[in-house]
Structure 1
C-alpha cells in the first residue's frame, strides 16, 4: 500500500507508486499552507495518484488546523470537486 509522506524538510507531500514519485509542493506561512504545484509523473497519471496525494495533504492541513491557499491548479480543481474541503480555504 502506498503511503503519502509529509517531507517537511523539502516542503513536499510525497507518494511513491511503481517506482515513480508524485509530489505536492507547499510553503508554510504561519497558520496557512500554500500549495504551489503538484507533479505526477506521466507513467502514473490517470490512476488516482494525484487525488490520493492531495486528499492526504488536505487532511493533514485540517489536522494541523491550517488554512489552505491553492495556488496550484490541480489543488484548486480538487477542492472544487470535493466541497468537503472548501472550509479549509483561506
Structure 2
C-alpha cells in the first residue's frame, strides 16, 4: 500500500495516510530537544502484513534526519527496523 507520512507535532505523532487520505497507522513519540523517542508504531490489525509499518518508519526516520535529530528507539518495531537497516540509524 502506498502511503504518505504527515507529522502532527501537537499530538506528538506521525500519521500514515492512504492515497485517499484515510489514516492507516501512526508512530508516536516524545521529544526532548533534538532527541526523538519513538515509543510506538501502530497499524490496525486488518491492515497488517502490507508493509505499512516499515514504510512509515522509513519515512519518519528520513524526516527526523532532515531536521538534524537523533532517535531513541523505545518502540520494539523501530529498534528491530534499525537493527536490520543500520545505514538508516539516527540513534542517540
Q: Under a length normalisation based on structure 1, what TM-score does the superposition of the two structures give?
A: 0.91
Q: Under a length normalisation based on structure 2, what TM-score does the superposition of the two structures give?
A: 0.89
- State the distance in 1 between where 2:46 and 2:17 align: 12
Partner of 1:30: 33
1:44-83 equivalences under 5 Å are 44-83=47-86
2:17 is the counterpart of 1:16: yes
Q: Note the residue ranges of structure 1 that are not aligned, 5 or more in a row.
A: none
Q: 1:61-80, CA deviations, whole angstroms, 9 ceiling, x for partnerless residues? A: 10011010000000000001
Contact 1:20 1:44 in 2 (8 A): no
Q: Note the residue ranges of structure 2 that are not aligned, 5 or more in a row.
A: none
Shift of 1:21: 2.5
SS in 2 for 1:71: coil
Contact 2:6 2:16 in 1 (8 A): yes
Contact 1:22 1:49 in 2 (8 A): yes
- State the distance in 2 between where 1:2 and 1:73 align: 22
Runs of 4+ in structure 1 off by over 6 angstroms are none
Q: How many residues align?
A: 89
Aligned alpha-carbon RMSD (Å) = 1.4
- State the distance in 2 between where 1:60 and 1:2 align: 15
